Amino acid sequence: MFTRDPRQARIDTLIGKAARVHGDIDFQGGLHLDGQIIGAVRSDEARESTVSVSETGSIEGAVQVPNVILNGTIKGDIHASERVVLGATARVEGNVYYGVIEMTLGAQIIGKLVRLEPQTPPAAPQGSAA
């Protein structure tokens, strides 16, 4: 596991600046991207799963991860049930489906912002009286 700063997301998988990945990626935990992915990016449904994309990183494909930290480019829809953080150099060409969103001045979105309703556990069935 890599960590740069305790306040940043946990990194279990690192894709370097010179790397190009063609195809879909499924991961668990944290993925940090400095390179390029051409394909969909998906994680397990754990609430802490996070993809972070640096200024040099880019994804061409749909992203379905609970937490997205973006400083680079994503060309495709983002489905983040928990949180999306867009830095000043972030660029999104697609729709953003989010639970909570944070945007820094300078971030660009070419698409729609769609707020997802919080997922609440189903109510326990009421006991029937005899």
Half-sphere exposure in the Cβ direction for 1 (13 Å, CA): 9
| pLDDT value of position 28 | 94
What is the mean pLDDT of each successive set of 10 residues along the chain, which is 130 residues long? Answer: 49 96 97 98 94 98 98 98 98 98 97 88 57
Distances (CA, A) of 38 to 60, 88, 120: 5, 23, 34
| pLDDT value of position 120 | 62
| pLDDT value of position 61 | 98
| pLDDT value of position 6 | 38
Q: How far apart are alpha carbons 65 and 97 in whole angstroms?
A: 11
Q: Where are the extended beta strands (E) located within the chain?
A: 13-15, 20-22, 25-27, 30-33, 36-38, 41-43, 50-53, 58-60, 63-64, 67-70, 73-75, 78-86, 91-93, 96-103, 108-110, 113-115
